[in-house]
Amino acid sequence: MLEIRPNCELCDKDLPADSGDACICSYECTFCRSCVDELLENVCPNCGGGFVARPVRPKNVYREDTSIKFQPASDIRVNTKYSKSEIANFCQMIKNIPSQSR
């Protein structure tokens, strides 16, 4: 099950569980759409993968024990360990390789 992290790992913008602005990679690294598009150029600075929109966990219970009520989003804020210059260099190096070929 997805952690649904509460913030962008780069700019620390709040990304609530129902945010349509959250993007994740296959390791659940979480960044806002603005950072993904403008700074990261669809390259996860932690793993090199690409991003997709983070799914929204349903607010309402449509099936027994399934909803944000029963599986709450994480409240642990995560920030990338890399500096902005390290991220820029890394993204520049692999941004032209399609994410499915990285």
**pLDDT one-digit tens code per residue, 2-36:** 999 999 999 999 999 999 999 999 999 999 999 99
Q: How many CB atoms lie within 10 A of CB 58?
A: 15
Extents of the domains making up the chain? 22-96
User: What tokens were used for 99?
Assistant: 């994410």
Query: How much is the pLDDT for 5?
Result: 97
Show Cβ contacts of residue 15 under 8 Å, excluding neighbours closer than 6 positions: 5, 6, 7, 8, 21, 22, 30, 32, 54
Query: Residue 72's pLDDT is what?
Result: 95
Could you read off the pLDDT of 75-98 as tens digits, one per residue? 999 999 999 999 999 999 999 999
| pLDDT for position 62 | 95
The structure tokens listed for 37 are 């598009």
- Please, what is the average pLDDT of the chain? 96
